Amino acid sequence: MNAASPPAAREIPIFPLGTVLFPEGVLPLRIFEARYMDMARGCLRDGGSFGVCLITDGGEVGAPAEHETTGCAARIEEVDMTQLGLLRVRVRGEERFEVLERRVQPDGLIMARVRPIAADAESALPDDLAPLGELAGRIADELVAREADPLNRRIAEPFRLDSAVWVSNRLSEILPWPMPFRQRLMALTDPLARLSIVAELLARRDSRPS
């Protein structure tokens, strides 16, 4: 039997941000720069996606920022442009990717040739980590109750509380970790390893003297 072919590389626009997007994660964005307005229109027109990468040097506006080489593809699910010059979108994370090379267009938009990273293997949440599923469920309910506007809500159904992949990704993106650490969690390809790290850090926090 022949070995499976590696995922084919493709070129996508990159939106460097000061946050980390995970697969199945939800990210509300307010877009106003011309390069990103054009990018969003192109994605909506062609049914394409763009890449979200954590900024390593620079800012979200102005000159093209430097960014991590592992990111997550984002697909626009909801759009609102009732305010002139401002595009509000809610995106959903798809597959992770590795940036192979990048170029900057004259308008400042970064285009990158990326190779998709295989999705985490699905597995059930282990019994000893069941409290993490309960925690993810409570956080999900709180996020829904707190934000009535779906465009601003940072989580979306289905809530797969019995999935090690879903629970590990949601806790990694929602709990208040430093962004470089969140980036490392996102880049892991083993959801049980990601969960174990989260569980250990939460246990350390809970054991600290009050």
CATH 1.10.4060.10 residue ranges of the chain are 127-207
Task: Give the model's confidence band at 209: pLDDT under 50 very low, under 70 low, under 90 confident, else very high.
Answer: low
CATH 3.50.50.60 fits 10-116, yes or no: no
Angle between helix axes 130-146 and 164-174 (nearest 10 degrees) is: 50
Residue 207 is predicted with a pLDDT of 65
| 149 vs 114 pLDDT, higher one | 114
Residue 133 is predicted with a pLDDT of 97
Mean pLDDT on 60-73: 97
- Distance of alpha carbon 168 from alpha carbon 126, whole angstroms: 12
Residue 65 is predicted with a pLDDT of 97
| 69 vs 7 pLDDT, higher one | 69
Residue 210 is predicted with a pLDDT of 55
**What confidence tens digit (pLDDT) does each residue in 3-17 have?**
556 678 999 999 999
- Distance of alpha carbon 91 from alpha carbon 194, whole angstroms: 23
CATH 2.30.130.40 residue ranges of the chain are 10-116
DSSP string for 126-180: PGGGHHHHHHHHHHHHHHHHH---GGG-S--S---TTBHHHHHHHHHHHS---HH
Mean pLDDT on 145-164: 92
Burial group, residue 202, by CB count within 10 angstroms (0-12, 13-18, 19+): middle
**What confidence tens digit (pLDDT) does each residue in 182-207 have?**
999 999 999 999 999 999 999 988 76
Q: Which CATH number fits domain 127-207: 3.20.20.80, 3.30.70.141, 3.20.110.20, 1.10.4060.10?
A: 1.10.4060.10
**What confidence tens digit (pLDDT) does each residue in 87-113 have?**
999 999 999 999 999 999 999 999 999
Instruction: Decide if pLDDT at 179 tops 60.
Output: yes
Residue 184 is predicted with a pLDDT of 98
